[in-house]
């Protein structure tokens, strides 16, 4: 199992880490890391260790971040940032990646990842550099720090404000890591729902997830040690061992084939449904709010009574 430590630099309220208009660097960093986590989940045999606070409320100390990566034996560490020059708007631009001075493994990792990020951001390639940063120095595994673009650049800010671009950077990071480690894509069914785990997507709520897996919000909170209602994209939630994904309702459209349930009792017009009609397939000829007209028997049946 490959362990990838991902770090969205700083926190939401870290002093000074803002665009000239007040936008938070962490919010840009987190969008890329969250997307990378989502896309890495499409691969087998990889797990993500997130080092920052995924809510952004706390700026976790650098020491705690590297200690976590080291104690959990991460195979690599990637700290994702966005740059600043003077703090005032200017036309400087570009993407650059750092490794620790003299680290051949750090340079090798940067050489695999940096071109992918440059390709996703479509900004000037400022190259691969070395620097004595804490995240690179104190980590026991190959580590790199990426500066995706300049927050105080009138050129780069256009990309940073585009969620599609940051999502693309996250995908590029995930795919480059997969190529680096030789990871294979999961089957479609595994991606949709890893056994016993739900990966939170944008728009998910605890209530919606509980309904999807026929469980309760209280059970999800207890199992995952959640005190409030906040969940974030990319977060992995454990599911109760007996949970099953709720059955998907049939697609009801004209000319589709449906079967009348054996439990069906009355037509939508009020008459009893004879037993010989039940359990057989029919063609939908018309659709109304709560009923469908079945062509072969020319009768209206409630939608809830077909499958």
Please give the pLDDT value at position 17. 96
Q: Inter-axis angle of helices 163-181 and 25-40, to 10 degrees?
A: 50
From the list 23, 147, 271, 307, the catalytic residue is 147
Sign of CA dihedral 271, 272, 273, 274: negative
Asked whether the predicted pLDDT for residue 248 surpasses 60, the reply is no
Asked whether the predicted pLDDT for residue 212 surpasses 70, the reply is yes
* Alpha carbons 83 and 32: distance in angstroms, whole number: 14
| Verdict on whether the full-model pTM lies above 0.75 | no
Q: How does pLDDT run across 117-150, given as a tens digit for each residue?
A: 999 999 999 999 999 999 999 999 999 999 999 9
Q: Which helix (H) or strand (E) holds 224?
A: helix 217-224
Counting runs of H as helices and runs of E as strands, what totals does the chain give?
Answer: 9, 12
Active site residue 23: no
Mean residue pLDDT of the chain comes to: 90
Please give the pLDDT value at position 296. 84
| Closest of 127, 120, 128 to residue 39, by C-alpha | 120
Q: How does pLDDT run across 190-206, given as a tens digit for each residue?
A: 555 555 788 888 878 88
């Amino acid at each position: 199992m490959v362990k990838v430590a991902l770090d969205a630099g700083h926190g939401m309220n870290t002093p000074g880490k803002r665009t000239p208009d007040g936008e938070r660097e962490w919010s840009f960093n987190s969008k890329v890391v969250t997307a990378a986590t989502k896309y890495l989940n499409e691969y087998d045999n990889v797990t993500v260790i997130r080092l920052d606070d995924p809510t952004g409320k706390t700026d976790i100390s650098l020491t705690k971040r590297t200690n976590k990566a080291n104690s959990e034996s991460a195979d690599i560490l990637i700290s994702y940032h966005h740059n600043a020059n003077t703090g005032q708007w200017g036309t400087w631009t570009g993407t650059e990646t750092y490794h620790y001075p003299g680290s051949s493994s750090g340079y090798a990792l940067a050489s695999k990842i940096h071109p992918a990020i440059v390709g996703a951001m479509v900004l000037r390639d400022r190259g691969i550099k070395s620097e004595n940063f804490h995240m690179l120095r104190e980590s026991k595994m190959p580590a790199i720090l990426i500066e995706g673009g300049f927050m105080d650049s009138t050129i780069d800010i256009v990309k940073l404000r585009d969620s599609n671009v940051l999502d693309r950077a996250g995908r590029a990071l995930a795919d480059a890591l997969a190529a680096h480690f030789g990871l294979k894509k999961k089957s479609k069914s595994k991606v949709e729902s890893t056994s016993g785990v739900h990966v939170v997507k944008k728009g998910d709520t605890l209530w919606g997830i509980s309904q999807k897996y026929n469980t309760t919000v209280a059970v999800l909170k207890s199992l995952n040690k959640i005190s409030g209602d906040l969940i974030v994209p990319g977060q992995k939630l454990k599911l109760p061992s007996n949970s099953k994904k709720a059955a998907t309702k049939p697609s009801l459209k004209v000319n589709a084939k449906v079967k009348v349930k054996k439990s069906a009792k009355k037509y939508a017009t009020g008459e009893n449904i004879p037993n010989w009609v039940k359990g057989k397939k029919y063609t939908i000829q018309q659709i109304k709010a709560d009923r469908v007209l079945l062509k072969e028997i020319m009768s209206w049946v409630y939608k809830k009574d077909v499958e």
